[in-house]
């Protein structure tokens, strides 16, 4: 990145030269990325406190300097099984906007790789097929060294209102199951 001295005139930047930074990480052997401006910090995987009656993709909560932060297992959120915890497994703390308020959420990933600069001209629109995740979760496909990185739309992946409706559905199903088992006994 080039710094321009105060008061210096800068030449217009070509649209293809504009790039953004993305944190890349691995989930189930596939490379994903999130815009770096959303990332608050990366922490080692530690003890999670399980919360009863949560969907399988919400692994629990952590205490982050006195704040309760929910942790979402992205592999499970994308329809896979739970993430197998390994020595490189970590939690990426992300800040999202929900109903005009800032919300901090952790995402569980297999491993964090690096921060990449991806030029806007190297970002293709999200495909309507060919990925293992919902198309609305994909913000685009970044071309990096001859391959693609899936750029996630974290505001959709971690949509608090959608996750709350999933939790409400799970709770309703649990109430129905409890009522059914009470009738059986």
Q: Where are the domains of the chain?
A: 19-173
pLDDT at 158: 87
The tens digit of pLDDT for each residue in 117-162 reads 999 999 998 877 666 778 888 999 999 988 899 999 998 888 866 6
What per-residue confidence (pLDDT) applies to 145? 87
φ and ψ at residue 134, rounded to 5 degrees? -60, 135
What is the per-residue pLDDT for 23?
Answer: 96
pLDDT of residue 53: 87
> Band of the pLDDT at 11, cuts 50, 70, 90?
very low
Residue with tokens 């217009």: 12
CATH 2.40.50.180 describes domain 19-173: yes
b/e burial code for range 52-77 (CB count within 10 A of at least 16 → b): eebeebbbbbbebeeeebbbbbbbbb
Q: How confident is the model at residue 167 (pLDDT cuts 50, 70, 90)?
A: low
Q: Could you report the per-residue pLDDT of 51-95, keeping only the tens digit for each? A: 998 888 999 999 999 999 999 999 999 888 899 999 999 999 999
Per-residue pLDDT at 126: 80
39 CB neighbour count, 10 Å cutoff: 19
Query: Positive or negative CA dihedral for 136, 116, 77, 162?
Result: negative
Determine the Cα–Cα distance for residues 93 and 42; give it in Å rounded to an integer.
6
Residue 178 pLDDT more than 80? no
pTM: 0.75
Q: What is the pLDDT of residues 108-119, one digit of tens each?
A: 999 999 999 999
Question: Per-residue confidence at 15, pLDDT binned at 50, 70, 90?
Answer: very low
């Amino acid at each position: 990145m080039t710094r321009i001295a105060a008061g210096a005139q800068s030449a217009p930047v070509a649209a293809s030269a504009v790039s953004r930074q993305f944190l890349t990480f691995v989930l189930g052997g596939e490379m994903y990325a999130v815009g770096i401006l959303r990332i608050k910090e990366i922490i080692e995987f530690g003890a999670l406190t399980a919360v009863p009656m949560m969907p399988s993709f919400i692994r629990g909560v952590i205490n982050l300097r006195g704040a309760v932060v929910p942790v979402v297992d992205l592999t499970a959120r994308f329809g896979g099984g739970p993430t197998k915890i390994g020595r490189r497994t970590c939690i990426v703390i992300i800040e999202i906007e929900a109903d005009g308020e800032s919300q901090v959420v952790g995402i569980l990933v297999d491993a964090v790789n690096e921060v990449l600069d991806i030029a806007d001209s190297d970002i293709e629109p999200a495909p309507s097929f060919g990925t293992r995740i919902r198309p609305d979760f994909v913000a685009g496909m970044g071309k990096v060294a001859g391959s693609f990185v899936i750029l996630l739309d974290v505001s959709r992946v971690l949509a608090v209102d959608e996750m709350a409706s999933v939790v409400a559905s799970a709770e309703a199903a649990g109430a129905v199951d409890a009522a059914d088992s009470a009738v059986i006994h």
